[in-house]
Amino acid sequence: MNVSELWQLYDHEFCACRVADVLAEGFVEVGVMRATVTARFAGQCINCGESAVTGWLTMGTVDPDTETFRRVNPNSIHRPIGDAR
């Protein structure tokens, strides 16, 4: 992930915005659940200026047959799987 990437989050607890525009600053934790790669990252919402850490977000999936990593589209809107709190 590029550190300057912008992630749009909805149904999140990152900040007060309905849809947060989070400028990612770096990974905090990375996890693998079965074939799904997830991560939490620190960032700042460019709408309200809140700095926080995201809930778990799906980064992509690994195809079990080919072991190829398929990344999610970072330009879509993402919903955290579960929040960190």
Cβ proximity to Zn ion: between 15 and 24 the closer is 15
DSSP string, 29-40: EEEEETTEEEEE
| Dihedral angle over CA of 60, 10, 13, 54, nearest 10 | 30
Q: What φ, ψ does residue 6 adopt, rounded to 5°?
A: -105, 125
* Closest CB 45 distance from Zn ion, rounded Å: 3
* Closest CB 22 distance from Zn ion, rounded Å: 8
| Residues near Zn ion (CB under 5 A) | 15, 17, 20, 45, 47-48
Cβ proximity to Zn ion: between 28 and 35 the closer is 28
